[in-house]
Structure 1
Amino acid sequence: MTILADSREAQISQLLGTTIEQLDITDSAFRAAESCYLDLGDHLSQANAQVYVQGSFMLGTVVRPHHRDGEYDLDLVSQLDVAKTSTTQQELKKRVGALLDDYRKEHNGEACESPGKVSEGRRSWCLHYENFHMDVLPAIPDADSPSATAIELTDRNLRNWQKSNPLAYVEWFRTQCAKQFEEERAILASSYGSVDAVPNHRVRTPLHRVVQILKRHRDIYFAGDLDDRPPSSLITTLAGKGYEGETDLVDATMSAVQRMPEHIEKRSGRYWVENPACDGENFADKWNEYEIRRLKFEGWRAAVERDLNEFLLERKGVVALHQRIAKVFGNAPVEDALKTLGARTNSARENGNVHFSTGGLLTTASTATAVPAHRFFGGETAR
């Protein structure tokens, strides 16, 4: 199996990108989660609660769960239009919990499957479905913020109101890859009829893939240590701050990882990675409570850099490279990626779009020497 690319580095990036492509959420899984989210939103709107998606589903950086019995995690905000002076954090959380419990009891399963149960988390409530769960975060508008989308939410101890702005964060993330985002939307337009019809959460730029690569690497690296696993918000923020428009995936990932320390601050002796869309929200707050988590983050970051270097330095052949990537990201997605790339190579060959580059690699570059299509009929080859 030969990968279509113009250089060895590009070949590795193409295999890595296609491997991560296999970990995208499937259309059926996305539709199932989306239908339940919309159904919940309709129900809670009757109580004047606004429900919207935040996190990886909105960003387009969902990665298939590592374990076979793992579940997709859909993060929602349930925003009630009440003043902070008219409620307490405990009252707000109980009210949203009651609304969710009523939804579970009244649900008829027509629009989507019925949630199995409702459980309480430290900050949120969780609706459990067969193959995914929805974490619902109670919130109210932040009347003190100049942003119309800013919110306040309960803290873990129900004492202090915490500030956030999930919708502004999505906009920040997309500005970090704005040029690539519009280019990818234009490519997808043929499938949707127009650029405007392309759903934003379907777009995958190199930055999206970088985040997915890092999340998959983290999931396997911390498979036996979930408590100390770096949160996706931290990884996504540091990757977004470190991304500078690179188009080669290995280069983009390596550069983002190497730049991460530049975006980790120390404020009055506390580690700090600020939410770029909300002043005062610190994604590294747990490092100040648990030093071991920061140390393990640094160990993981170094491991990502080491693994990428080893991909580039592998000189024992393509099989050894495939095995090395499979060790880091899992056998199944690499095997699926090789099949996908094989099919694309055959299709390009049949259309006369495969060429030899000056270095002897197969490429789709039109300036290289064309490779003729092959047709096999019994033991003879027709050209």
Structure 2
Amino acid sequence: MSTTKSADLVNYAELARPTRLTKSLESFTALREGFITNDRDRRLKYSHWAQALNEANLHITVREEEIGAAANAYQEVAEHLAANLSWPPEAVSILTQGSVSTKTLIRSPNGGEKFDIDAVCQVDISRIEATNPMGFFESIGRALEDLKAQAKRRCWNIPFTGRPFYLEFTPSVPLDSVPTQILNSMAPRYRASRYERTALAVVDTPTSSWKTSNPAGMSKWVDDTAQRSLILVATLEAYAADRAKASVAPVPDQTVVITDTLRVAIRLFKRHRDICVRRGIIEAASKPISIIIVTLLTTCYEGLADLNRSFEHPVELLDELAALMPHLILKLDGKYRVDNPTVEGENFAEKWNDDDGERYRSFMIWCETLSADLKTILALTDPQEISKRVREVFGIPAPSGGGNGLPTIQPPAPRATPASSGLA
């Protein structure tokens, strides 16, 4: 029977990974030996971990009013471009991409540090002269000079002084509108492979050429995958009922809660990575980039769904995603790969192959630290100890406001798993 690529990766990872944390801990003896016999008792067993992890997730959420302010900034930039380039307003549209569009944006643990908002400037190429990729890219930069825009590889960074965010702003044209002569000049191995209708042509400044990109496709992939439920239906229904009875303030509709386990995993794991940098466990320059974390976790979740795996509780699924994630890295012909699922040939881990393995080592150290931290959380049974440990691991201030959010423990950095051929 044929399987999907994601399912194949998960099958390999299940063979390579250690025992699932929640199934190997002493605190789960009662579950394994049948002393807990009904769904209510099982949910109570998990409830303290779920509550503490969900509180951490809510704490790192960027407030809705901050997102709204950023949305206003998109329109400001669009109007700025239309005015400075004498383009018709209807020729320019600004669309969110990345963590904002997938509801996985998190705030920095470093106080007032800005968060980044990724956006694409989608231009109607039938109205604009864009046959020269560098000319197109640089014309955008000149139009944004008074916004202090700074050029990066494929985008312009707009700092927005005095606001809590900055924009990463990528000029693009819809791929299906690109003339044949431009399409033929693009790198042939970079073709849209999923969600083709949302694919874009963006400027790759190091090569001065057009390349395929599909941020909307990536967001749709995360959204579609997150909607595939891996939690037993009875558990989800009971969890919702328990929340309705809880004596806590209702969660706003736009907030992601722990039953949306893929998005919560992306948020919490990104936060844990940032705390590992803060602890000095990994270096900021070599920390795993968010797109790699998102791709690996979504691939893992998709593969589990394709294999019809199911879990009794979101905490179990979070544990499984953490355990499998490091074993989903491909190594082909001596090169690390994390493939873009929407653009054939694009490797998100390309830089891993040009730094003597530093980024790979940082990734593995982070993954092992994440598993070790989750193990200590899941080994606890006292609600207050669980809450305290979760705050330490994810850099959350104490509820009283007296804490400073800094972790109070410094576990030793684990040794990185050595590189190997084939799947690593």
- TM-score with structure 1 setting the length: 0.71
1:214 to partner: Cα distance: 0.4
Q: Say whether 1:320 aligns with 2:385.
A: yes
Bigger mean CA offset, 79-88 vs 255-264? 79-88
Corresponding residue to 2:142 among 98, 116, 121: 98
- Answer yes or no: is the 8 Å Cα contact 1:19–1:334 preserved in 2: no
Counterpart residue identity of residue 36, structure 1:
A
Q: Which runs of 5+ in 1 are unaligned?
A: 105-116, 188-198, 337-383
1:155 to partner: Cα distance: 2.6
Q: Structure 1 228/268 Cα, relative in aligned 2: closer, same or farther at 3 Å? A: same
State the partner residue of 2:376. 310
| Distance across 1 between alignment mates of 2:331 and 2:354 | 14
Q: How many residues are matched?
A: 305
Counterpart residue identity of residue 169, structure 2:
V
Q: Structure 1 202/128 Cα, relative in aligned 2: closer, same or farther at 3 Å? A: same
- Answer yes or no: is the 8 Å Cα contact 1:237–1:275 preserved in 2: yes
Counterpart residue identity of residue 99, structure 1:
A
Corresponding residue to 1:64 among 103, 107, 111: 107
| Distance across 2 between alignment mates of 1:200 and 1:262 | 35
Counterpart residue identity of residue 6, structure 1:
R
Task: Determine what percentage of the aligned residue pairs are the same residue.
Answer: 26
Find the residue that maps to 1:139 and give its secondary structure. strand
State the partner residue of 2:97. 54
Instruction: State how 1:72-83 maps to structure 2 within 5 Å.
Output: 72-82=115-125
- Answer yes or no: is the 8 Å Cα contact 1:322–1:334 preserved in 2: no
- Answer yes or no: is the 8 Å Cα contact 2:123–2:173 preserved in 1: yes
State the partner residue of 2:11. none
Deviation readout 1:116-136 (Å, 9 max, x if unpaired): x32222332111122110010
Instruction: State how 1:235-314 maps to structure 2 within 5 Å.
Output: 235-243=293-301, 244=304, 246=311, 248-290=313-355, 291-314=357-380
Q: Say whether 1:332 aligns with 2:397.
A: yes
| Distance across 2 between alignment mates of 1:335 and 1:288 | 46
Counterpart residue identity of residue 72, structure 1:
F
| Distance across 2 between alignment mates of 1:335 and 1:278 | 47
1:321 to partner: Cα distance: 2.5
- Answer yes or no: is the 8 Å Cα contact 2:225–2:298 preserved in 1: yes
- Answer yes or no: is the 8 Å Cα contact 1:164–1:281 preserved in 2: no
1:263 to partner: Cα distance: 2.8
Q: Say whether 1:175 aligns with 2:224.
A: yes
- Answer yes or no: is the 8 Å Cα contact 1:52–1:77 preserved in 2: yes
- Answer yes or no: is the 8 Å Cα contact 2:204–2:211 preserved in 1: yes
State the partner residue of 1:165. 214
- Answer yes or no: is the 8 Å Cα contact 2:48–2:386 preserved in 1: no
Instruction: State how 1:18-57 maps to structure 2 within 5 Å.
Output: 18-44=55-81, 47=87, 48-57=91-100
Corresponding residue to 1:221 among 276, 291, 299: 276
| Distance across 2 between alignment mates of 1:9 and 1:209 | 16
Q: Structure 1 69/86 Cα, relative in aligned 2: closer, same or farther at 3 Å? A: closer
- TM-score with structure 2 setting the length: 0.65
| Distance across 2 between alignment mates of 1:96 and 1:200 | 37
- Answer yes or no: is the 8 Å Cα contact 1:218–1:230 preserved in 2: yes
- Answer yes or no: is the 8 Å Cα contact 2:114–2:165 preserved in 1: yes
**Root-mean-square deviation (Å):** 3.0
State the partner residue of 1:122. 153
State the partner residue of 1:137. 170
1:220 to partner: Cα distance: 0.7
State the partner residue of 2:265. 210
| Distance across 1 between alignment mates of 2:124 and 2:253 | 27
Deviation readout 1:324-372 (Å, 9 max, x if unpaired): 2222111317668xxxxxxxxxxxxxxxxxxxxxxxxxxxxxxxxxxxx
Q: Structure 1 162/267 Cα, relative in aligned 2: closer, same or farther at 3 Å? A: farther
1:176 to partner: Cα distance: 1.0
Q: Structure 1 86/132 Cα, relative in aligned 2: closer, same or farther at 3 Å? A: closer
| Distance across 2 between alignment mates of 1:271 and 1:335 | 45
